[in-house]
A and B are shown apart, each in its own frame.
Chain A
Amino acid sequence: MKKNLMIVFLLFIAILISNSVYAGSSEGYVPSWKVGQRWVLEATYRDLRVEGNAWMPPMQWIFNVRAKKTVNGEECYVLHVYGRKTSQKNQAILWLSVNDLRPLKVIDVYPTASGMKYQERDISQASEPLVSEGTPIPYDLPSFPLVREDNRAQAADGFGAYNRSSSTNAKKFSRIRKIGGISFKRSISQKSKAPDKQYADTFAGYSKATRNAGQSFQVEIDEDRSNNKLIQIWQQGAPWAVSGANRDRRVRLVPESEYLHKDGGEN
């Protein structure tokens, strides 16, 4: 009798645990950071002005979580992005909601012939993807949380979910922006799903801990008539998309082991 009771109890606990895990995963994924945390993105840029497939030398960008502050009553990460080399003068400061990384304020800092200047971007308060434009800094962010309707558990190597007929989670955003007396409507779509098999190599440089930290997502952000679809791969446990690419930019999250020991410092 006692044995039966124990089995029932264990089954009950198991059901509770599985339910809570399921509830957690169905809410989706939002990266979380700590103040002081930093990471490096490396971006290469295609020169679309010239003939052929010409790619420029890569630039590395340091993403530094400098503080947490309150903007419009909402707690935000203050993310400072700057070039690893001082010759890269562009910078950006992003205030991103702790809850869903929704941008509440973005400042772009850029060089001009008459010195450095800055401009605050006109940011929609609605949850929509943040598309990096007018700056070489690849701070593109999808609308979080990321969900993947294919919630099957991945294999221990993190790649178990590839190459399945995963269903897609799609969102549409219409953004109206009045500038210079005229309203412009821009339509942006975002899809998230399990990564296609071709992106399996993306994870090769990352630690096993990161690779096995949880789900991975392929996010596609596309603006009507832009001919510039962005595809990012996000992996739970990594602070930013581990890779991203559109027609003129390829970005990768530099593994810590690579940038901490390479040249020792930021100049």
Chain B
Amino acid sequence: MRKLSILLALILSSAPLAVFADSISGEIKPAPWSGDWWSRKKGFLVKGWQGHTPSPFEKYDQYVAAVTGKNPGAHAWESNIKNHHYNPNAEAWEGHCNGWSGASVLAPEPKITRNRGGIAFDTADQKALLSEQYMNCYCNFYGNRYWGNANDDMNDIYPDQFHRLLVENIASGKTAMVCDIEADRMVWNYPLYKFESSWSTGWFDDHKLKVKTTCYFVNDDVKPEYLGTKWFAVNYTYNLFVDDKGNVISGEWTGDSKKNHPDFVWIPTGDARVPANSTLENPCLDPKHVKNICEGPANISSGRAAAPAARNPDMVLMEAGLDPNDLF
């Protein structure tokens, strides 16, 4: 019995008993908004939907024709099957989720119906136009997209990189980020705006942090008229490996997260023009007109919004809360 006690004491004294635990959380406010993902197969953008006709693109063409005297042809372009934006035979998952994701992170949620020259653009119309406008946008990209090629790494995006992005962007209050939540070849983009993470070292391995993180994504499984943020949560587990000095140097997904983890992360930074000969975005949609429709007062009788005031770089700094006189 005494020998057993000594043995137990020896084991306990040699093991690092002190389990270190900590946590962090973060949330972006206001959260990105929920909206329809504008399925290619359903074609709401060009056909409208029950109780909602004319369609958002028919209204857009009417508005621009009234303002400029010329039909921009946005509806015709979007309807053309060759442009891959509407196709009754498209895959059920194909749509505008990336455009909606970018718009919901960078553009304020349209919350009121806006009448422009007698044409009523309700919130669903405005979200539709914004989702198309942001189909092509500049972004910072993290990780590598999984294409199913032999040299593709299923573990990417690595959990240490993912965790760092959560802390740098969301815990710091900087910006929401968009994740393709499928680690495999399919792409499902959702804005991530909130997370809660906790971790501890193991009893016998203080070179490993066992992390559990709950991520909150904005849902696009909503009706086009939906207002606000509907979310869903996903739990991820991973280990972060630390060196002798306690610095994270790598990581590994664990449990279900080995197969179910984000593939890549992108953070939209601004709208982009459509490259020549590209069908990624409707080239007949002019951001200037979309802005006039989606911003400003509820009613503008002439259809023409006031010309935006010219802005110099210092005015942008002031808008951000910086004083150029202090800086320069």
**A and B: interacting chains:** yes
Q: Which residues of A pack against B, CB within 8 Å? A: 45, 47-51, 54-57, 59, 62, 66-67, 78, 80, 82, 86-91, 93, 107, 109-119, 133-136, 176, 179-185, 225, 227, 248, 267
Task: Decide if B24 is an interface residue (CB 8 Å cutoff).
Answer: yes
Asked if B140 lies at the interface with its beta carbon under 8 angstroms from chain A, I say: yes
B256-273 CB contacts (< 8 Å) to partner A: 264, 266-267, 269-273
Q: Which of A47, A48, A90, A184 contacts B270 (CB 8 A)?
A: A90
A183 smallest CB distance to B (angstroms): 4
Closest to B275 in A: A57
Q: Please tell me if the beta carbons of A119 and B140 are within 8 angstroms of each other in the complex.
A: no
Query: Could you tell me if B248 and A115 are in contact, using CB atoms closer than 8 angstroms?
Result: no
Q: Which residue of A lies closest to B169 (CB)?
A: A134
Complex CA distance for A104 and B160, rounded to whole angstroms: 27
**B169: which A residues are within 8 A, CB to CB?**
134
List 5 contacting pairs A-B, 8 Å CB cutoff, sorted by A.
A112-B106, A113-B109, A134-B267, A183-B246, A185-B247
A180 to B280, alpha carbons, bound, how many Å? 38
Task: Indicate if the CB atoms of A134 and B168 lie closer than 8 Å.
Answer: yes
Question: Contact residues of B with A, CB < 8 Å?
Answer: 22-24, 30, 32-33, 98, 104-109, 136, 138-141, 144-145, 147, 158, 160-161, 163-164, 166-169, 171-172, 174-175, 180, 187, 197, 199, 209, 240, 242-243, 245-250, 264, 266-267, 269-275, 278, 280, 287, 310-311, 313, 316-317, 319-322, 327-328
Does A93 contact B327, Cβ atoms closer than 8 Å? yes
Do B311 and A48 have beta carbons less than 8 Å apart? no
B270 touching A87, Cβ below 8 Å = yes
Most chain B CB neighbours (cut-off 10 Å) among A113, A117, A179: A113
What separation, in Å, do the CA atoms of A15 and B177 have in the docked complex? 61
Could you tell me the distance between the alpha carbons of A50 and B104 in the complex, rounded to whole angstroms? 20
Residue among B139, B163, B320, B322 having the largest count of chain A Cβ atoms under 10 Å: B320
Chain B residues with Cβ under 8 A from A134's Cβ?
A: 140, 168-169, 174, 267
For the complex, give the distance between the alpha carbons of A88 and B273 in Å. Answer: 11
One of B98, B209, B243 near A49 (C-beta < 8 A): B98
Q: Once the chains are docked, how many angstroms separate the CA of A91 from the CA of B321? A: 13
Closest to A95 in B: B327
Q: Is the CB of B270 within 8 A of A111?
A: yes
- Indicate if the CB atoms of A78 and B139 lie closer than 8 Å: no
Contacts of A82 in B (CB 8 A): 313, 316
CA gap between A87 and B249 in the complex, in Å: 39
